[in-house]
């Protein structure tokens, strides 16, 4: 392995001399003597065999070669700073990664807003978002494969849950679909004669899908976006979250089906911390920011 000719300290001194406009100013900010900075830069130039700075009057200017090397040096020193900060974070228990299990009914914009607030304080924590459905969310909670979970309906027994919001689902189809001509549907057996689009449960040990499942012909997809694309092509009907189809309903690209006794569905979404006893500071901060999106304080969790 080739030994480096220069040191990080030398590059940091060079950066300071350039950033503060000279040796005297840099010495003041670094709390070092001007002669020590001059010596460090002179030695760096000698070690590299290239001129990095030239002094004109009382001010130091970069040479063309110095500009290139200084620009590269900033990447190196920043990478080392990030590495040292990461080590400090890990020492303090700050998590390098977080996994969020998100029930797909939960509006993604809420989570994005929370992540946007978290980002400036994240200290480089990597985030993984797992879209989950029905028992898939419960499995992630029970197996502690997620640091934060947003689940729909009843949470696994024994876990604390904070209700976040209630989302509505409408039964929708294309305006040219034969079901739209029926007006109000009084008998759900009429639906059974048509193609239904359902969402696949992500649970490993479950075959449950989202939706009324009496239709003989069903297509199962992974998420609501795929279901909506099928509906927009004129095929089938499906229960979809209101926030996801508001624009299409307003533009007449999709229409609501009015089913007697089942106009809409409401799903309560709650926040669960699968391993609260070992929850780290990054997870706690992001949890608070998710709760804030719904004007909820971080204390006072409810238990089911």
Residues in CB range of 61: below 8 A, 6 or more apart? 53, 54, 55
DSSP run (H or E) holding 231: helix 224-232
Question: Rounded distance, CA 59 to CA 53, Å?
Answer: 10
Phi, psi of 201 (to 5 degrees): -65, 135
- Choices 3.40.50.10490, 3.40.190.290, 3.30.460.80, 3.10.20.30: CATH for 168-266: 3.40.190.290
Residues in CB range of 97: below 8 A, 6 or more apart? 125, 126, 127, 128
So where are the chain's domains? Answer: 8-91, 97-165+268-303, 168-266
- Residue 210: pLDDT above 70? no
pLDDT more than 90, % of the chain: 43
Q: How far apart, in Å, are the Cα atoms of 279 and each of 8, 16, 100, 169?
A: 36, 40, 13, 33
Residues 217-242 have pLDDT tens digits of 889 998 999 999 999 999 999 999 99
Residues β-bridged to residue 161: 302
Residues 43-73 have pLDDT tens digits of 998 998 988 888 777 677 888 998 999 999 9
Give 276's pLDDT tier (boundaries 50, 70, 90): confident
Residue carrying structure tokens 């700073």: 81
CA-closest candidate to residue 183, choices 84, 283, 97, 255? 255
Question: Rounded distance, CA 182 to CA 193, Å?
Answer: 13
CA-closest candidate to residue 80, choices 11, 8, 30, 10? 8
Question: Rounded distance, CA 304 to CA 296, Å?
Answer: 18
Neighbours of 223 (CB within 10 A): 14
Neighbours of 270 (CB within 10 A): 23
pLDDT at 277: 82
pLDDT at 99: 96
Domain 8-91 and domain 97-165+268-303, same fold? Reply is no
Give 215's pLDDT tier (boundaries 50, 70, 90): low
pTM of the model: 0.66
pLDDT at 197: 92
pLDDT at 304: 42
Q: For the chain, give the mean pLDDT.
A: 86
Residue carrying structure tokens 């709390």: 31
Give 301's pLDDT tier (boundaries 50, 70, 90): very low
Greater pLDDT, 269 or 123: 269
CA-closest candidate to residue 13, choices 46, 48, 49, 38? 38
- Is there a contact between 145 and 98 (Cβ–Cβ < 8 Å)? no
Give 153's pLDDT tier (boundaries 50, 70, 90): confident
Q: Which top CATH class is 97-165+268-303?
A: alpha beta
CA-closest candidate to residue 276, choices 155, 149, 151? 149
Q: How far apart, in Å, are the Cα atoms of 120 and each of 100, 111, 127, 187, 256?
A: 18, 15, 14, 53, 41
CA 220 to chain centre: 26
Greater pLDDT, 204 or 162: 162
- Residue 182: pLDDT above 90? no
Pull the structure tokens for residue 157. Answer: 């027994």
- Is there a contact between 95 and 283 (Cβ–Cβ < 8 Å)? yes
Highest mean pLDDT among 5-9, 92-96, 247-251, 296-300: 247-251
- Residue 138: pLDDT above 80? yes
Pull the structure tokens for residue 96. Answer: 């390098």
- Choices 3.30.360.10, 3.40.50.300, 1.10.10.10, 3.30.300.30: CATH for 8-91: 1.10.10.10
- Is there a contact between 298 and 148 (Cβ–Cβ < 8 Å)? no
pLDDT at 82: 73
């Amino acid at each position: 392995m080739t030994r480096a000719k220069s040191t990080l300290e030398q590059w940091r001194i060079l950066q300071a001399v350039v950033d503060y406009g000279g040796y005297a100013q840099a010495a003041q900010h670094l709390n070092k003597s001007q002669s020590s900075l001059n010596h460090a830069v002179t030695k760096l130039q000698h070690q590299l065999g290239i001129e990095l700075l030239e002094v004109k009057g009382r001010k130091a200017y970069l040479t063309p070669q110095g500009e290139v090397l200084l620009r590269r040096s900033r990447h190196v020193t920043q990478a080392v700073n990030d590495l040292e900060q990461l080590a400090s974070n890990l020492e303090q228990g700050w998590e390098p990664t977080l996994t969020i299990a998100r029930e797909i009914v939960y509006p993604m914009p809420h989570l994005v807003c929370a992540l946007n607030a978290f980002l400036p304080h994240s200290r480089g924590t990597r985030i993984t978002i797992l879209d989950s459905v029905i028992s898939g969310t419960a499995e992630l909670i029970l197996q502690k494969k997620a640091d934060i979970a947003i689940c729909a309906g009843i949470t696994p027994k024994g876990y604390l849950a904070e209700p976040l919001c209630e989302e509505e689902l409408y039964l929708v189809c294309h305006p040219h679909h034969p079901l739209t001509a029926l007006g109000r549907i009084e008998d759900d057996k009429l639906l059974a004669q048509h193609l239904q689009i359902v969402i696949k449960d992500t649970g490993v040990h479950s075959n449950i899908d989202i939706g009324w499942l009496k239709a003989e012909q069903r297509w199962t997809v992974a998420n609501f976006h795929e279901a909506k694309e099928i509906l927009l092509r004129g095929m089938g009907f499906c229960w979809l979250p209101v926030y996801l189809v508001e624009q299409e309903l307003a533009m007449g690209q999709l229409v609501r089906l009015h089913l007697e006794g089942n106009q809409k569905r409401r799903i309560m979404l709650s926040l669960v911390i699968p391993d609260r006893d070992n929850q780290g500071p990054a997870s706690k901060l992001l949890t608070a920011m998710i709760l804030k999106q719904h004007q909820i304080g971080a204390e006072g969790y409810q238990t089911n």
